[in-house]
Structure 1
Amino acid sequence: MSNADPALADLSVPLERDVFLRTLIRELSGTLQDVVGLDEASGFISVVGQRVGEQINRDYRAALEVSSLSREQVARVLVDLKRRIQGNFRIVSEDVDRIVLANTACPFAEKVLGRPSMCMMTSNVFGVIAAENLGYAKVELQKTIAQGDAECRVVVHLRMDNTPDVPGREYFQT
Structure 2
Amino acid sequence: MASAYIASSEANSDVSTLEVPLKLSSFLQSLLSYLAGTLEEVVGVDDASGFIALVGQQMGNEINQIYQEAMGDRLVPPEVVAKILVDLKNRIEGQFFIVEQDADRIVLGNHRCPLGSGVVGHPSLCMMTSNVFGVITAHHLGYAKVCIEGAIANGDQGCRVVVYTRPSAAAQAAMGREYYKLEQSKDD
Q: Considering the TM-score relative to the shorter chain, is it more than 0.5? A: yes
The answer to whether structure 1 residue 161 and structure 2 residue 168 are counterparts is yes
The answer to whether structure 1 residue 144 and structure 2 residue 144 are counterparts is no
Which residue in 1 is equivalent to 2:128?
121
**Does the Cα contact within 8 Å between 1:61 and 1:69 map onto a contact in 2?**
no
The answer to whether structure 1 residue 21 and structure 2 residue 28 are counterparts is yes
**Residue 6 (structure 1) shift:** 3.6
**Does the Cα contact within 8 Å between 1:97 and 1:158 map onto a contact in 2?**
yes
Number of equivalences = 170
Which residue in 2 is equivalent to 1:103?
110
**Does the Cα contact within 8 Å between 1:91 and 1:101 map onto a contact in 2?**
yes
**Residue 164 (structure 1) shift:** 1.7
Query: Which amino acid is 2:176 matched to?
Result: G
Instruction: Mark the structure with the bigger radius of gyration.
Output: 2
**Residue 69 (structure 1) shift:** 1.9
The answer to whether structure 1 residue 90 and structure 2 residue 101 are counterparts is no
**Residue 82 (structure 1) shift:** 0.6
Which residue in 2 is equivalent to 1:71?
78
**Residue 99 (structure 1) shift:** 0.2
**Residue 169 (structure 1) shift:** 0.6
The within-5 A match list for 1:2-81 is: 6-81=13-88
Query: Which amino acid is 2:180 matched to?
Result: F
SS of residue paired to 2:94: coil
Normalised to the residue count of structure 1, the TM-score between the two structures is 0.94
| Dislocated runs of 4+, deviation >4 Å | none
Query: Which amino acid is 2:125 matched to?
Result: M
- For 1:55 and 1:143, locate their aligned partners in 2 and report how far apart those are by CA, in whole Å: 26
- For 1:6 and 1:49, locate their aligned partners in 2 and report how far apart those are by CA, in whole Å: 43
The answer to whether structure 1 residue 172 and structure 2 residue 177 are counterparts is no
Supply the RMSD in Å over aligned alpha carbons.
Answer: 1.1
| Cα deviation digits, residues 15-73 of structure 1 (max 9, x gap) | 11111111111111111000000000000000000010011111111101132121111
SS of residue paired to 2:168: helix
In structure 2, list runs of 5 or more residues that go unmatched: 1-11, 183-188
The percent of aligned pairs where both chains have the same amino acid is: 51
- For 1:85 and 1:99, locate their aligned partners in 2 and report how far apart those are by CA, in whole Å: 20
